[in-house]
A and B are shown apart, each in its own frame.
Chain A
């Protein structure tokens, strides 16, 4: 996302203009914009004009509208995927939609003040946001995160999962009464189909690409890699051959399901390339939390009430919090969590914000969206009893 302009004073008043480019950006906007904010974005409006001759003409015009937001909706068909991913071969990368509804609050020759309007936020069009309650630290850091160049979302450009692709033929298992010949035949066909799909879905010619990952349990990844390599040789696909040689990485994962993408991103081969990114940090933090839960349950707390208690006692070393909690429709709730993050940071603790669009964030959401690794052990039940006794 491009930062077009930012005018925010030290009290948080002011506006920020952003230009979204892809799904991940829509997600950022969805998390930034809240009810009550004023948002200025382009809209298309049909206007009727009476011409000099008296006939009525209908015309579509593009105009900027400013709305006071009453509702905001995000929908995506790939939100279950780790990182923003696209199976759209054109690379347009847009399967998410963001819709904002509200009343028009700025004068406009074509639209009445106070009229109700719905805006579809479009890629590559500027959106200006002014926050009703001012810009808090979480919102500002989200703007920063979303607009730094070369951010994480580009790490996974495209994913292709043959198990759920309509072009892939089922492979009979070897135990068939007819023997293993059907298995072998289908396997060969599978590799062939996979080659075509690879060409269509993986932008291997893209120079910015760092790695082309083949991941599977067993040895399928090797067989597929070898086949694609061989076939590229046979067809004289020089670019593909080179890309495979230079960027092909084969990674073992324990299951073929989507969530094993986490294993890919944690593998030493890929982690080295991701080291400094937020993603790696989130994955590692969530792992740390789980390990702490296993070794010292008294230092791994989760659930909003418990975590707030731990924060009150200055016990939080690392706070894990999902962006979902900041999206609360009730501004008081959001403020509570913003204050929590700030207080943890003030006491020298770490606050890691997870994105619900990613696997790690979804896992944290299931765990109530908030968890903490404590610097010293505290017994939840004892603390609760003490609180109740106050």
Chain B
């Protein structure tokens, strides 16, 4: 194990996969200079042929992943901020998500798109969104949302090796966060959630950027006598319903935490799955803690007001706990 920064874990994953397979190449705006550091140094190591700085042309960039992937390469597109996926939406929604189906399964589409998402840093409305839930409805792309350096590395390596398209949502502003990363080669499987903490009173389900506050909320609740089981969803599509429902059923009290907006959020979908499959085990209404239904403003306090936080998670958990309040 080595203490590794989030951003370094991503960088290591790309580097290792580029070393392993010469068909892997990285492209995107300023991937050489690398605004987040996750592609820094790759051009020096692999050359400009495989690490390609591009013009600012998102709609062409996303479409290009399809052409390159269908013709034998493993493109890794860094789209920078996840909001820019909206600019490049046709390439993702109409092409990447559908080209294999439309062709009757003739091709593999081993394309990866890396997008940094999330608010809380006063980046204002157009650089702060959490759009993964919108992509959950596309049907034709896998979605991974790591919450820590080890999973970031393992999931990105799996994404690059996958013969299907994967959107890799990197929690923004977490680049400096440290975590233990195994020294040896490993892959984190796409489609597998992880139970990261045991506890019999409540189940907290979270992912990516809201994982840290979920753990903090579990700590606070434990101090006050409520033990939480915590699930890190890790992959939103395909969703590991089995692990999620088993964890939900063990306590019968579920809070789902997610940074996307409340309406049709990832949390909404997970709540629906739990309600459909585990209804008989539920002892209280399922609660969602999400962003409110608005864009994120600049002013820091106003922004924070809209986002999930530890207090909101604790309050929701307490509300559905056995006594509806903390144990005396």
**Chains A and B belong together in one complex:** no
- Using a CB–CB cutoff of 8 Å, the interface residues on chain A facing chain B are none
